[in-house]
Structure 1
Amino acid sequence: MAIAFAEISRPFRLRVGGGAERIIPPVSVLIVLLVTWEFSSQWFDVPKYLFPAPTDFMYRFVSDWRVLAYHALATGYVVVIGFTIASLTAIPLGLAIASYPSLRRNFMPVIVFFEIIPKTITAPLFIVWLGFGFPPRITLTVVMTFFPILLNSIAGFTSVNPRLHLITKSMGASPWQSFRFIRLPAAMPYIFTGMKIGMVNAVTGCITAEFIGANEGLAAMILQASDYMDLDLMFAGIFATAMLGTILTGILLGLEKWLMPWRSDQ
């Protein structure tokens, strides 16, 4: 009986252990860094108005959670909308470019040209063209997210051996079946790699646009706090930005694991 129970519970223990192995090390490193930061501030008597200790800005993180939540929601809204638009545009375009050599020859030089341009310098242009508010922030987020997803989608859809298409066609598979069961699964790791890079760029693009022109959002809140030299609130805003990016990336990783259960390295 005991042996049977052990065999039944073994997969559950492996799943829990695998998840713990991924969560515990980074959390432990973060805790060590915060504790070292806290005690270093006390040992070296660092002025609070120059470099607050974690307990100082974490207190503001808790006490001003309503303000932080309001601005975090504004930033998160822009990031999610911009990331979604970029993904829904870049992945089909990547498939089209990978499927038709003429498109690849004509569009790749243009894509490379626009990829070389630093995207953050276009933020003032979007402010001039679209004014203040959500449109320029969403546009910059789309621009910064689009190219990593597009390039990785092209690489993914071209990674399949052409002989596989001939084999599936000879076995009577339709073009949709070949795409559904061969091409798309092979491209998904590349696509999600681009989406993970794009998520980081999406947060960066949104924050950059908020610094240039916005009345709400975490970057706008940090700028307002800097006017009053409120470093505790500024560090709390930076911490909230990091948490927002971590949460959105975690959701993306969960989606990746759900859509690609066959991968053993997740």
Structure 2
Amino acid sequence: MSYVLPSSGRRVPCEQCPLRAIGSFREFEPQELRFVSSFKTGELTAETGTTLMSEGTHSAHLYTLLSGWAFRYKSLPDGRRQILNYMLPGDLVGLQGSIIGEMEHSVEALSSLVLCVFQRDRLNELFRNHPGLGFDITWLAAQEERMLDEHLLSLGRRTAMERAAYLIAFLYHRAASVGLGTGKLLHIPITQQHVADTLGLSIVHTNKTLRKLADRKMIRWLDRACEVVDIDGLMEVSGWEGPSERKRPLI
């Protein structure tokens, strides 16, 4: 297990952030952009498998995922883990630790990634002087709760195949909304172990379930990746209508 520390190097100015060009993110007001630019202290890069944050630790920083994939998880004392959610470009990382003071979950890089680094001790200034950005952070926290509600419903009431179809469809739509993938084909950088740890299934049961979806020509399993072939079929199997279209904040 490897850990990373923030670097002070700054490669992408906020004014030239590639995420700002994506239509799913709302526009900054000029004064908000100036503040966020000063709020950012640097960037952090990490390779696949790197632990970005660890349960029970404190962090002086808040992050926005600039590129790549990550996931949040909790572990039992014997090492078994439950993946809680996945993080894609534009997502805040470490908000819980910034507000509560201690991380109650861990975060691991699912692919090579880049994070924008923000100084946690300026959050009060953000809420005091920029209520629009403060609302954005509240919105992002509420959106995370909404996604977890959907995940809990899936774990509690969907069959194994419905769960797997929902998870892959959910990740497809999240990735497509931030410009990842082309057309209807999209590669999700997860292994079958990640799927098992998300759905609460054994690796054997997971393998059999994913094989059923592959046999129906909905997915194709690659080396450390899942290729989505038929998103409509996955949504039909899962009984999920997909996310509502709305502009989302970007910090």
TM-score normalized by structure 2?
0.24
Structure with more contact order per residue of length (Cα contacts < 8 Å, sep ≥ 6): 1
Greater helix share, structure number: 1
Task: Name which one, 1 or 2, has greater alpha-carbon Rg.
Answer: 1
Greater strand share, structure number: 2
TM-score normalized by structure 1?
0.23
